[in-house]
Structure 1
Amino acid sequence: MSAVAKAIEIIGGQTKAAKLLSTKQNIIWYWINRHCQAPAKYIPRISELTNGEVSVNDLLADHQKSNKEDAA
């Protein structure tokens, strides 16, 4: 499970996360199911919404995993 998926689960689901992040639920769905990462500008707020259960570093690690897969 990606860190963003774990974070959204902790926050209370895609709809609630979308509302708290001022975006749409389908955007959150794409983060989880297509990109497996959240855009960098949302990472600090997502971590904050999880009360630190998912750290900024955890969320940034999703980016590193994705970049390695692109390079392979």
Structure 2
Amino acid sequence: MSAIEKAVCLIGGQTKLAKILGTTQTAVFYWVNRHCQAPAKYIPRISELTNGEVSVDELLADHQKTNKDDAA
């Protein structure tokens, strides 16, 4: 499970996270299901919303995993 998936579960779903961040549920769906990462500008806020249960480092690690996949 990616860090963004874990965060979405802890926060209470894609729609709730989208409303809090001022984006759409569709955008959050793409983060979870297509990109497997949250955009960097949202990472500190997402970590804060999980009360640190999903750390900034974990969310950034999703970026590293994706970038390695792209390089292969």
TM-score, normalized by the shorter chain, greater than 0.5: yes
Identity of aligned residues (%): 75
* Over 2 Å off, 4+ runs: none
- Give a deviation string over 1:3-58, Cα, whole Å, max 9, x none: 00100110000000000111000000000000000000000000000000000000
Looking at structure 2, the residues matched to 5 and 21 of structure 1 have their Cα atoms a distance apart, in angstroms, of: 16
Please tell me whether residue 68 in structure 1 is matched to residue 51 in structure 2.
no
In the alignment, which residue of structure 2 is the partner of 1:31? 31
Q: Secondary structure at the match of 1:23?
A: coil
Superposition RMSD on alpha carbons, in Å?
Answer: 0.3
Structure 2: segments with no counterpart, 5+ residues: none
Structure 1: segments with no counterpart, 5+ residues: none
Tell me the TM-score normalized by structure 1: 0.99
Aligned residue-pair number = 72
